[in-house]
């Protein structure tokens, strides 16, 4: 069985539409209405402004119940603030972790010093800052003295660093007096800049430098530049860039694996102490030498203490830094006669080996002071 629905009556609607006036495009009322619509047509800028105002009004309505925080601009902490907070944070780390960690959910960004959001982050950043600072100080010491510091004899290490700094200062001052400006300094500089801008690679070898100095000053100048760079890193030890550069410097300095293996993989002779630690002038003396891997038949010589490796082979002093008073090492002793009043350090050279080149190795922490008999109380000057 099929059911049919009756169609709705359309006569009334049709009569209503036919009774309406026709759409006249040329009517003045329609033209004025279109002109008014064109005048009210918004531009892109006005539409964006209205959109932003509506968004701000909606945000204000949503956040009426929440108190707003004013962000007060403040300067970031510098060297002194990071140093003090790092020392304080590491010293009080047990109390901070025990007492403040359970309430970590109440903390937010900037709640702790050094822009940290939690007590654990504050302690971690403090430890990282101090480790970076210690690493940079170690790099400064190694760069200045070309040796690793001795933890067993810190006064000697500090004295070596002070002597190395003095030597570097004297060398830089001497090199500063040797710097000579070109007679046509401005013209030569402009010519160099023009050649670089023109990328004339063939003309680079023939360029004259505007400054000239002694070739021996290259080493001290480079060392001074490296020391200045490390000092800048020390001032910004708390930044991530400084940590990355410090690790890169460590990798570059320790990349010579063969040298380290040769130094620590094979026995290295070393003098630890001598007895006595003073000697009389022009007196034959038997010195007891205590050391590690000292082979009988080796040679022990002496140099003044200011002729150590940190003074760059004595060129800054103009004195005689050749090995003096050499004698054979046998049965743990050497026989030496000192003829000059000075403080000496020992140097040891293993027995000669035709298959391997041997050289002296000096030990700056061991010293023997030469005195006159009249300077020792209770000792007769006639001795």
Closest CA to 286 of 347, 329, 348, 339: 329
The CATH number covering residue 291 comes to 2.60.40
DSSP for 92-110, please give it. THHHHHHHHGGGGGG--TT
Q: Hey, which residues does 303 pair with through a beta bridge?
A: 345
The C-alpha angle 277, 282, 287, rounded to 5 degrees, equals 35
Percent of the chain with pLDDT over 90: 10
pLDDT at 151 over 60: yes
Half-sphere exposure of 43 (CA within 13 A, CB side): 2
Contacts of 373 (CB under 8 A, 6+ apart): 280, 281, 379, 380, 381, 382, 383
Structural domain range at position 280:
269-375
Output the pLDDT for position 230.
92
Q: Which residue has the higher pLDDT, 310 or 214?
A: 214
Instruction: For residues 350 and 218, give the distance between their C-alpha atoms in angstroms, rounded to a whole number.
Output: 33
| Overall average pLDDT of the 232-241 stretch | 90
pTM: 0.47
Instruction: For residues 302 and 344, give the distance between their C-alpha atoms in angstroms, rounded to a whole number.
Output: 6
Instruction: For residues 99 and 93, give the distance between their C-alpha atoms in angstroms, rounded to a whole number.
Output: 10
Residue 315 in any domain: the answer is: yes
Structure tokens at 251: 């990798």
| Overall average pLDDT of the 200-223 stretch | 74
Residue 367 in any domain: the answer is: yes
Please give the torsion angle defined by the CA atoms of residues 171, 176, 182 and 185, in that order, rounded to the nearest 10 degrees: 130
Q: What is the pLDDT of residues 293-305, one digit of tens each?
A: 888 889 999 988 8
Output the pLDDT for position 313.
42
Residue 281 in any domain: the answer is: yes
Give the position of tokens 């402009």. 190
Residue 216 in any domain: the answer is: no
Output the pLDDT for position 232.
92
Output the pLDDT for position 131.
94
How confident is residue 269, by pLDDT bands cut at 50, 70 and 90?
confident
Q: What is the pLDDT of residues 298-335, one digit of tens each?
A: 999 998 888 876 544 434 444 557 888 889 998 889 99
Output the pLDDT for position 25.
62
pLDDT at 8 over 90: no
The answer to whether residues 171 and 213 touch, using CB atoms and an 8 Å cutoff, is no
The C-alpha angle 345, 310, 223, rounded to 5 degrees, equals 180
| Overall average pLDDT of the 221-225 stretch | 86
Contacts of 363 (CB under 8 A, 6+ apart): 270, 271, 345, 346, 347, 348
Output the pLDDT for position 318.
44
Residue 327 in any domain: the answer is: yes
Q: Which residue has the higher pLDDT, 106 or 298?
A: 298
| Overall average pLDDT of the 254-282 stretch | 70
Closest CA to 160 of 362, 324, 371, 300: 362
Residue 51 in any domain: the answer is: no
DSSP state of 112: B
Q: What is the pLDDT of residues 111-148, one digit of tens each?
A: 777 777 778 888 888 899 999 999 999 999 988 888 88
Output the pLDDT for position 94.
83
Question: Highest mean pLDDT range out of 169-173, 214-218, 253-257, 349-353?
Answer: 169-173
Specify the range with the lowest mean pLDDT, choosing from 18-22, 94-98, 218-222, 256-260. 256-260
Residue 366 in any domain: the answer is: yes
Specify the range with the lowest mean pLDDT, choosing from 129-133, 162-166, 214-218, 232-236. 214-218
Contacts of 229 (CB under 8 A, 6+ apart): none
Q: Which residue has the higher pLDDT, 170 or 258?
A: 170
Across the chain, mean pLDDT equals: 76
Instruction: For residues 222 and 162, give the distance between their C-alpha atoms in angstroms, rounded to a whole number.
Output: 19
Output the pLDDT for position 136.
92
Burial string for 93-113 (b: 16+ CB within 10 Å, else e) reads: beebeeebeeeeeebeeeebb
- Beta pairing class for 324-328 and 299-304: antiparallel
- Beta pairing class for 368-371 and 278-280: parallel
Percent of the chain with pLDDT over 70: 72
Output the pLDDT for position 315.
41
Count of domains forming the chain: 1
Closest CA to 287 of 341, 348, 340: 348
pLDDT at 379 over 70: no
């Amino acid at each position: 069985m099929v059911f049919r629905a009756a169609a709705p009556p359309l006569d009334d609607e049709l009569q209503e539409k036919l009774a309406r006036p026709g759409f006249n495009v040329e009517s003045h009322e329609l033209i004025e209405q279109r002109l008014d619509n064109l005048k009210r047509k918004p531009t892109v800028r006005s539409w964006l402004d209205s959109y932003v105002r509506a968004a701000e009004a909606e945000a204000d309505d949503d956040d009426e119940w929440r108190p707003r925080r004013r962000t007060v601009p403040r300067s970031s902490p510098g060297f002194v603030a990071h140093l003090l907070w790092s020392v304080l944070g590491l010293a009080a780390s047990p109390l901070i972790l025990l007492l403040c960690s359970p309430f970590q959910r109440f903390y937010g960004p900037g709640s702790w010093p050094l822009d940290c959001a939690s007590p654990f982050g504050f302690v971690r950043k403090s430890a990282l800052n101090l480790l970076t600072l210690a690493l940079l100080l170690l790099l400064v010491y190694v760069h200045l003295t070309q040796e690793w510091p001795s933890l067993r004899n810190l006064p000697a290490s500090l004295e070596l660093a002070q002597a190395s700094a003095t030597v570097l200062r004297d060398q830089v001052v001497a090199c500063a007096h040797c710097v000579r400006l070109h007679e046509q300094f401005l013209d030569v500089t402009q010519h160099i800049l023009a050649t670089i801008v023109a990328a004339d690679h063939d003309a680079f070898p023939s360029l004259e430098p505007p400054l000239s100095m002694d070739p021996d000053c290259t080493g001290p100048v480079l060392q001074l530049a490296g020391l200045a760079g490390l000092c800048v890193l020390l001032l910004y030890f708390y930044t991530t860039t400084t940590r990355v550069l410090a690790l890169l410097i460590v990798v570059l300095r320790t990349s010579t694996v063969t040298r380290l293996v040769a130094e620590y993989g094979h026995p290295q002779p070393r003098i630890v102490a001598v007895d006595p630690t003073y000697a009389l002038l022009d007196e034959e003396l038997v010195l007891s030498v205590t050391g590690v891997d000292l082979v009988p038949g080796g040679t022990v010589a002496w140099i003044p203490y200011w002729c150590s490796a940190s003074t760059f082979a004595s060129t800054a002093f103009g004195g005689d830094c050749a090995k003096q008073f050499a004698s054979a090492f046998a049965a743990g002793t050497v026989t030496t006669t000192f003829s000059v009043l000075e403080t000496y350090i020992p140097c040891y050279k293993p027995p000669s080996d035709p298959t391997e080149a041997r050289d002296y190795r000096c030990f700056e922490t061991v010293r023997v002071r030469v005195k006159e008999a009249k300077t020792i109380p209770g000792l007769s000057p006639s001795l």
